Amino acid sequence: MFRTLTVADKVLSLTLLGVTIAVFWGISSLATPGSFAIVMIGDQLAYKLPLDANKVVTAQGRIGDVTIEVRGGKVGVTRADCPNHVCVRTGWRSRGGEVIVCVPNHVWVKILSNDKPEIKGVTG
């Protein structure tokens, strides 16, 4: 049924293997989110902000505006129309999975990263 593999067959097989692995790596890295922050208003995606580019955006929340800034690889809420400013006081965040939330405005910012996902939780 099979002929003996020639040198050309073997080269072809190894080339195909290499190409396939490269394609899988490509697909894998495309599917894995980059280091960026997503800004959500309720269930709606408002902005996707790469952390390697400084930028300021404003999200219109339920009771007012929330200003989100990317600076020096970190993201933070710098101003918010909300009574307690817990979101502003949360400060700057840069690690994958970290979240800043402005509950009164239903606006939240979450960082997605390239890091290999670790099963983890943060308390405190």
Partner 1 sequence: MKGRDRSLIKCILFILSVCCVVSCSHEKRPLVKDATAMDTFLTVSVYDEEISDEQAFAMMDSAIAEIRRVEMMATDYNDTSEVGTVNKHAGHDSIIISSELNSLLETALQYCRSSDGAFDITVEPLVKAWDFLSERPQTPTDEQIQTILRYVGYKKLSIINRTVFLQQPGMGIDLGAIAKGYAVEKALQKLRSGGVHKAIVDLGGNLGVGWRGTKMFDSTVASIYIRHPRKDGQYFGKFKVGNAGISTSGDYQRYFIEDGVRYHHILNPKTGMPVRDLVSATVVSSNATDADALSTLIFVLGRERGMELLRRTNGVEGLLIFQQGDSLAFTGTPKILSSFSRTPTDD
Binding site for partner 1 (CB under 8 A): 1-5, 10, 13-14, 17, 20-21, 24-25, 27-28, 31-32, 40, 74, 83-86, 90-95, 98-99, 101, 103, 106, 108, 110, 117-124
**Residue 17 C-beta: closest distance to partner 1, Å:** 5
**Residue 52 C-beta: closest distance to partner 1, Å:** 17
Give start and end residues of each alpha helix (H) in 6-104: 7-31, 86-89
Closer CB to partner 1, 53 or 123, in the complex: 123
Closer CB to partner 1, 19 or 56, in the complex: 19
User: What are the C-alpha distances in Å from 80 to residues 5, 69, 83?
Assistant: 68, 12, 9
How far, in Å, CA of 43 to CA of 10, rounded?
Answer: 52
**Residue 53 C-beta: closest distance to partner 1, Å:** 19
CB atoms within 10 A of CB 55: 14
DSSP-derived secondary structure letter, 24: H
How far, in Å, CA of 81 to CA of 91, rounded?
Answer: 16
**Residue 57 C-beta: closest distance to partner 1, Å:** 19
CB 106 within 8 A of CB 60: no
